Structure 1
Amino acid sequence: MTLFLSENPFRTIGLPSNSGLKQIQKNISKLKAFSKLGKEVDFDYDLNFLNLSKIDRTTEKITKVESRFLLDENKLKYSLFWFQKNSPFDEVALSNLIKSDTSKAIEIWDKVMRKGELNQANVTAYNNSSSLLLFLLLDSSKNDQFYNDEKAISKLAIALNRKYKLFDSEYFKEFCFILGITSDINVTEIQLFFTETILSILNRNFTSNQIHFLIKGLNEDVSQFFSGYLVKGPLLNIKKQIETTSKILESDNTKGIVLGKSLIKNTLKDLKFLKTTLGEESYQYENLTNNLSNQILQCGINYFNKTGEDQAYLGSYKYALSIASNEKTILRAKEAIQHCEEEKEANICSCCSVSPIYKNSSYNLTIYKETKRTYFPQRVEYSHGTLNLFFCKSCLAKATEKDSTSQTITWAIAIIAAIVIGIASEHIGGAILGGVIGLGLGSFIGVIFSADNSSIIRNHPTTKKYLNQGYQLNQPTA
């Protein structure tokens, strides 16, 4: 983890950031010499009384630091997190800071900035006071983390407002000139760099709500800039997740449910942050949530069209409805939910209303419908068909229990009757007659002793439908 504040190159060499090249080289040479001898060296600008980590002044570290002063852009970036000695006020304030009197240093710089206008005389006071506030807000972990209580966040907002005021000032070029920078500097890029650095520090121990609270304390222009940068990552991530999901779904609809649920999971945190930062009424937020909602819905719809099942996706349909904002998307989500609930109900056993139906087997029910009846001669004509009734395993067993029990009893009595009468008559014809008598008797007894499944069969929605149309369960007789 890079400790950007503690490991500032200017702190490492122990100098203000507007020091001349000659002084910089002198300190670097001294540090290299001491490092080779295995000795430590202290400078006034070590500022060890602050919650900064210990300075690494090994030969390897000094060599790396030396290369960082070669580019003007680097020198400017590091100066934003350090101090400059440009005016008599800076000299007195820094002298007190070196003595650990931070209150006196702040008092002097505040006095220079009292009128609230940034000018040529106080341009370094704005940067110095802001940098000192940042250092004073570091917690005791020495890991370059800011305190994140309400009081600290308010002070952090003051420090950031001063820094952004410097960026927006006509005297920013004057600030660069004080640092010895003569090349053209892209202020927007420097501003983005500063924002990224601050956010990287905040993300170590700040929650999204705490960052949002901080942004609210910034000046309006700064807040908009900060927010715009802050939402950039979450916006891009959600858009990327939608595009990736759409491409995979296009090639394989059977992955619809998995893709949809993953899409929700992978965007949940970012969407929550955007809702807090942008607000629900933001056009940017509304447009994004509608696109996300539609993609979640599409995953479930495509899966159902391919497999005929989507009951496991009902919760995802409801989530899509909760984030949708335009009427078209809301209606689409409601239709998907209604269809899914109806399908779910249709797949629950109509007998027990609890267990799912067993689709691998069904009860085959023959139904009849009288088409014509005459009395002279006495005759009836009818049509018939077979219904496949689906139940759960338990209710299917109950529905078929009567048939199996009745059949077992019928054939058992028929066989016994055939044997007994056949033996008694000592003739094959007697055995046949006994079997016929046994079948009739067994059928009657089987009905008595078997379970009654008529209510299960009759109350099935499909059976009811055909009974209402004039069909009956028994074969019509003349």
Structure 2
Amino acid sequence: MLSISQNPYRIIGVVANVSEKELLKQKNKIKAFARTGKIPDFELDFPPLPTISRTTESIDHAFSQIELAEDKVFQALFWLVNLNAFDNVIIEKLKSQDSELIQDALGTLENLCNHTQINQNNFSRYNNASTVLLLQGIEVASAVRLKYELLNSSYFDDFILAIADKTVLPQKQKLIERFTDKLISEFQKNHEPYRIISFFKKSPEEIQRKVKNLLTADKVHKIEHAIEICEQKRKNNPSEANNFAYTLIELRNDVANLARIFGKKDVAFNMLSDNFADEIRSCAVSYFNEQDEPELYVYEECLELFSLARDFAKNPQTIQRLDNEISQFEESVKNYHQNKKVNNTVPRIIEKTEQLKNKPYINIIDVDKYLDDTLPLLRELKGTETHALMVNIVASVAMGKTIVLVNRSNSNVRQATQIFNALNTQTDYMDYELRAHFRKNYEELKKMNAGRNSVSYSNSSSDSGDIEMDAICLIVKIIIGAIILINLFSH
């Protein structure tokens, strides 16, 4: 951290509470060295401070940075003070250049400040420990907390008096604001906003708020401006609103990062996020309303936009609207696919049925092939409203034809049983009357196949004729229904 490694007190080689007399003495000493052409290192150039090259210019600049009372105190917040015996022991260990003593001093500062409360005797320790932690880049949030505890304590006045001219005392609040701004600018050199904000997580709430606002102001303005632009474009050209929405969505990572920063309870951010979501939703609605005959891709695109907007919605009313629209459009997409499936599959089943019915001579193999062709098509219709209706068509025709063939010849019984076995998988979808016919004939067929009954049931021809006639009626109904469906879903 340059505010520490390039601190004017460090460059001059003194602690921050140095007296004016000692400061003048140090200045004269440095000038004497400067005349020889070489300015030496000083005792306070302790590790882990990086080495620096002192020049006449850097020395003069360092003295100019601590001329005013406020500047003296401000720079002291990024350096060390020596106000009591404990401070003196720590600083002497740092001056020793002995690595073990230095580590002992650093460790002592860290531990003491983490286990004590600030008071008259240790407030200087809070400043020194915070500076050391910041210098090392460890426990940064704790280091920042220690500094604010000092700044907000009643002992900060004593800290000021130990450093500044007693006749002109700096304003405490101004120092706090200046210190905060400097910390942020230092952190910004190496860290992302989210990380920087985490460094202030143990600081007072008003400081956290200030840091968040400073670090996010540009992004918030960028998002707000993008929402306004999107709204204007949508109103001027609603048919292109989907494209405007996708342009706005390009900022979703920025909104997500702000969510991590502000959390779930921040009112201002939640309003921004909800406005972001609502504008995306409005774009989807405007785009859809511009379509005279929406195609599937329109439904799917709007559904995607609603789902993306839902991720950022915060207001319960916005969330409810989006949930309703997502549900409606999901149902529309589902129906679209089902209708497409019906329009593709139903005519093929009807075609297979008509081919079987119109064949001049039918044998048991033809019926078996009919089922081989139509059962997979029935499976394609599962979940659609026409599924059960088509099952009844196929079952009626296959069963009626099979019964006729069995009545003609008992040699067809084995294959007929296999046909009925296949039809048995469809009984859950048959209507009551057809299921009753099927079960009665299935039982008779199984008896015949087992050799228990060598004669066909007495009313089988009549039954099969009735069933086949029912099938014909159903076929007429399904053809009419299919035509209606095709006309309906083609618009």
Whether the TM-score (by the shorter chain) exceeds 0.5 is yes
Per the alignment, do residues 53 and 467 of structure 1 end up closer, same or farther by CA in structure 2, a change over 3 Å counting?
Answer: closer
**1:175, CA displacement in angstroms?**
0.4
Where do 1:121-200 residues align within 5 Å? 121-135=121-135, 138=136, 146=137, 152-153=138-139, 156-182=140-166, 183-200=168-185
Per the alignment, do residues 111 and 198 of structure 1 end up closer, same or farther by CA in structure 2, a change over 3 Å counting?
Answer: closer
Contact 2:80 2:128 in 1 (8 A): yes
| CA shift digits 1:105-154 (9 cap, x unpaired) | 3577689879934333332222122222332xx2xxxxxxx2xxxxx43x
| CA shift digits 1:256-314 (9 cap, x unpaired) | 44553344433524534534x54435545543432222133234444556688686564
Aligned residue number for residue 67 of structure 1: 64
**1:181, CA displacement in angstroms?**
4.2
**1:225, CA displacement in angstroms?**
3.9
- Normalised by the length of structure 1, the TM-score is 0.58
| CA shift digits 1:46-72 (9 cap, x unpaired) | 22x21x333242344334333212332
Where do 1:398-477 residues align within 5 Å? 464-465=487-488
Name the CA distance, whole Å, in 2 between partners of 1:303 and 1:352. 27
The equivalent position to 1:325 in structure 2, one of 291, 309, 314, is 314
Contact 1:208 1:273 in 2 (8 A): no
**1:82, CA displacement in angstroms?**
0.5
Per the alignment, do residues 294 and 29 of structure 1 end up closer, same or farther by CA in structure 2, a change over 3 Å counting?
Answer: farther
**1:99, CA displacement in angstroms?**
1.0
**1:162, CA displacement in angstroms?**
2.2
Where do 1:303-318 residues align within 5 Å? 312=301, 314-318=303-307
Name the CA distance, whole Å, in 2 between partners of 1:184 and 1:244. 44
| CA shift digits 1:356-394 (9 cap, x unpaired) | xxxxxxxxxxxxxxxxxxxxxxxxxxxxxxxxxxxxxxx
The equivalent position to 2:74 in structure 1, one of 73, 77, 89, is 77
Identify which range, 338-347 or 325-334, moves more after superposition.
338-347
Contact 2:300 2:333 in 1 (8 A): yes
Contact 1:11 1:46 in 2 (8 A): yes
Per the alignment, do residues 115 and 292 of structure 1 end up closer, same or farther by CA in structure 2, a change over 3 Å counting?
Answer: closer
Give the % identical residues: 25
User: When you count helix as a share of all residues, which structure comes out higher?
Assistant: 2
The equivalent position to 1:96 in structure 2, one of 93, 98, 112, is 93
User: When you count strand as a share of all residues, which structure comes out higher?
Assistant: 1
Per the alignment, do residues 241 and 115 of structure 1 end up closer, same or farther by CA in structure 2, a change over 3 Å counting?
Answer: closer
SS at match of 1:45: coil
Unaligned runs of 5+ in 1: 139-145, 147-151, 354-457, 469-478
Per the alignment, do residues 96 and 260 of structure 1 end up closer, same or farther by CA in structure 2, a change over 3 Å counting?
Answer: same
Contact 1:130 1:159 in 2 (8 A): yes
Name the CA distance, whole Å, in 2 between partners of 1:40 and 1:303. 73
Identify which range, 108-117 or 164-173, moves more after superposition.
108-117
Where do 1:21-420 residues align within 5 Å? 21-28=20-27, 30-31=29-30, 34=33, 38-47=37-46, 49-50=47-48, 52-100=49-97, 101-106=101-106, 116-135=116-135, 138=136, 146=137, 152-153=138-139, 156-182=140-166, 183-203=168-188, 218=202, 222=203, 224-233=205-214, 236-237=217-218, 239-253=220-234, 254=237, 256-275=241-260, 277-302=261-286, 312=301, 314-334=303-323, 336-337=325-326
Per the alignment, do residues 37 and 264 of structure 1 end up closer, same or farther by CA in structure 2, a change over 3 Å counting?
Answer: farther
Per the alignment, do residues 461 and 311 of structure 1 end up closer, same or farther by CA in structure 2, a change over 3 Å counting?
Answer: farther
Per the alignment, do residues 115 and 463 of structure 1 end up closer, same or farther by CA in structure 2, a change over 3 Å counting?
Answer: closer
Name the CA distance, whole Å, in 2 between partners of 1:300 and 1:282. 27
Amino acid at match of 1:266: L
Q: Does 1:10 align with 2:9?
A: yes
Contact 2:110 2:133 in 1 (8 A): no
Amino acid at match of 1:166: L
SS at match of 1:44: coil
Amino acid at match of 1:70: E
Amino acid at match of 2:246: K
Name the CA distance, whole Å, in 1 between partners of 2:206 and 2:64. 32
Contact 1:290 1:324 in 2 (8 A): yes
Amino acid at match of 1:297: R
Per the alignment, do residues 163 and 263 of structure 1 end up closer, same or farther by CA in structure 2, a change over 3 Å counting?
Answer: same
Number of positions where the alignment pairs a residue of Structure 1 with one of Structure 2: 343
Contact 1:16 1:84 in 2 (8 A): yes
Per the alignment, do residues 107 and 258 of structure 1 end up closer, same or farther by CA in structure 2, a change over 3 Å counting?
Answer: same
Per the alignment, do residues 118 and 281 of structure 1 end up closer, same or farther by CA in structure 2, a change over 3 Å counting?
Answer: closer
Per the alignment, do residues 115 and 467 of structure 1 end up closer, same or farther by CA in structure 2, a change over 3 Å counting?
Answer: closer
Amino acid at match of 1:132: V
Name the CA distance, whole Å, in 2 between partners of 1:236 and 1:466. 51
Name the CA distance, whole Å, in 2 between partners of 1:16 and 1:460. 95
Identify which range, 248-257 or 61-70, moves more after superposition.
248-257
Contact 1:303 1:310 in 2 (8 A): no
RMSD, aligned α-carbons: 4.4
Contact 2:230 2:248 in 1 (8 A): no
Identify which range, 173-182 or 193-202, moves more after superposition.
193-202
Contact 2:65 2:71 in 1 (8 A): yes
Per the alignment, do residues 301 and 345 of structure 1 end up closer, same or farther by CA in structure 2, a change over 3 Å counting?
Answer: same
Amino acid at match of 1:69: I
Name the CA distance, whole Å, in 2 between partners of 1:247 and 1:467. 38
Name the CA distance, whole Å, in 1 between partners of 2:52 and 2:241. 54
**1:229, CA displacement in angstroms?**
3.0
Unaligned runs of 5+ in 2: 293-297, 343-480
